[in-house]
Structure formats: structure tokens, C-alpha cells
Amino acid sequence: MNMFRPRRWPNAFCKTFLIFLSACRPSSFPSASERPIQEERTLLAEAKERSPLQEAESTRKAFLSFTRPRVGWLRIRAVYRYQESRIEGSAWYWKDHGVWVTCAHLFPQEQPRQLEIELWDAAGECRMLAPPWRDDSLDVAFLRDTQGVGFTLSEASPEIGDWCFTMGAPLGLSFSFQEGYLVAQRQVGRHPYYQLSVWAAPGSSGSPVLNRTGQLMGMITEVAELGSSELGIAFAIPATRIQQAYERYLTFALYDTARAN
């Protein structure tokens, strides 16, 4: 007796269909276990592509954008009976105490008939400030104002060779960004100063000097006059002297009007 035998074509059809499905299976998408490994390899490849120079450039641009809204360009006009004087400098905002800080020597020692203090920001907007309180012995002046962002003082003292940057207006070139380092610690008279490798000129007075963390380590106060062989050398007072001046300000500002124009 002949037994029934199924035809062979269904098996061949199934095999062909399965081969077709396997060919259509997406192979470009990694499995869930493979994705973290591939993502990590991609990040490492991108990190290797960034050279140290690109990292330094990125850091420099970040500090530039951080500093600009916290620095101002000062233009001071003093009118006397027969003459007037115009002086330019820089200032920075001390957010902890709500004051703009600059150098006392930018303001006239004598009482002028009229004193105009213009503070220009990086956006090109100008505001008029009231006369400052000055500490002439420490060469620090405070101008009251309100501002959204500012600097804080560094608690640690810098060391020779530490990297720093500053922004000021040497020769009236406002918001000039410079990068350098602390060359040496000098003693001028009774006061300590930081000698910096950045270039300074009239107009740099009051420029903030920041460390790598964006905190203020000092302020440029001593620059050579135009025509001097020492033009370009910058000296900054330490942040501790600015703190001393502010403590005096809190003590005497309400009663000492001799140092406020």
C-alpha cells in the first residue's frame, strides 16, 4: 500500500521566506547592550579630535564672555573755574557689596565745580554715577550702584607663575582682554604689589585681575605714563588691600565727607 507523502514545495517555500526575512532584518541599529559602548567610543573620538590649543581657545572665550558684563569703562570729567580735565579708566563690580571699584587716583584731589562720572558697559550703554568714596592711601575708590552680576574676591593668595587675565581700557581701548601670569611680588613703599606680564597703559587703572576660577586676585593701579621707558609694565594691588579699603569705607563713609567729592 502506498503511503501519502506531502509534496516538497511548501518546505522550499518556507526556507525561501525565512531567508528573505533574515535579509530584511535591520543590522545598522546596535542592540541595547551595544549602544553605551558605541556612545562612549564616539565621545572618546571627539575628545581626541580636540587639540590642547582648541581647549585653551575655548577656555579663553569662556572667560571673555564671563568678564565683559562685570567690567565698566570710566570717563571722568572735572570742570574747574578756568579749565577742565578728562580722565579714563576701568572699574569692576563687586556684587557682594553692591559697589563699583576703581582707583582713587582717577578722581581729582581738589573740589571741582562740576564732576561727571560716566560708566559705559560692554553693550554701549552709559549710566551716570555719583561721586565716589576714596581711600587715597590704598588707592581704592567705591561708587554705589546696582548691577546684576559681579566678581567675588579670591580667598587664596596667588603665587608667582599663576595664570591670570584682565580687562581694561589701555590708551582708551575699552574692554581689552589680556591673558598673562604673575611675574613677581614687589614692595613699593610700604605696600605690596603684583607685577603682571600683561601690557598696561593709562586707562588700565582699575582693571580687575582674575585667577583661573574667575575670582578677583587684584586690581591694576600702577602704570607708567606715556613716553616713559617703563610703559607697559603693570602693577596690581592685592585683593586684601581692597578688602581693607572696604572695611574703612564701612567705618567712615557716613561721617568722612572729605574723601567724597
Residues 183-206 pLDDT 10s: 999 988 788 999 999 988 889 999
Query: How many whole angstroms separate alpha carbon 23 and alpha carbon 167?
Result: 64
Residue, of 127 and 39, whose pLDDT is higher: 127
Task: Provide the 3-class DSSP secondary structure of residue 68.
Answer: helix
Residue 40 confidence (pLDDT) above 90: no
Query: How many whole angstroms separate alpha carbon 80 and alpha carbon 114?
Result: 7
**Contact assessment for residue 89 and residue 206, using Cβ atoms and an 8 Å cutoff:** yes
Residue 2 confidence (pLDDT) above 70: no
Computed over every residue of the chain, the mean pLDDT equals 83
∠ CA 190-211-50, nearest 5°, is 155
Query: How many whole angstroms separate alpha carbon 171 and alpha carbon 101?
Result: 20
Domains of the chain and CATH, by start:
67-150 (2.40.10.10), 163-245 (2.40.10.10)
Average pLDDT over residues 24-29: 48
CB atoms within 10 A of CB 218: 29
Q: State the cell numbers at 32.
A: 541595547
Q: What is the structure's pLDDT at 235?
A: 92
Q: State the cell numbers at 145.
A: 550702584
Tell me whether strands 114-120 and 126-128 are parallel, antiparallel or unpaired.
Answer: antiparallel
Closest CA to 134 of 101, 168, 111: 101
Task: Provide the 3-class DSSP secondary structure of residue 89.
Answer: strand
Q: State the cell numbers at 218.
A: 587684584
Query: How many whole angstroms separate alpha carbon 203 and alpha carbon 86?
Result: 11
**Contact assessment for residue 37 and residue 31, using Cβ atoms and an 8 Å cutoff:** no
Find all residues with CB under 8 Å of 19, minimum gap 6, and list them: none
Residue 239 confidence (pLDDT) above 90: yes
| Alpha carbon distances (Å) from 239 to 113, 140, 211 | 33, 11, 11
∠ CA 201-97-214, nearest 5°, is 55
Order of all β-strands in the sheet with 126-128: 126-128, 114-120, 71-79, 84-94, 99-102, 140-144, 133-135
Residue 9's pLDDT band (cuts 50, 70, 90): very low
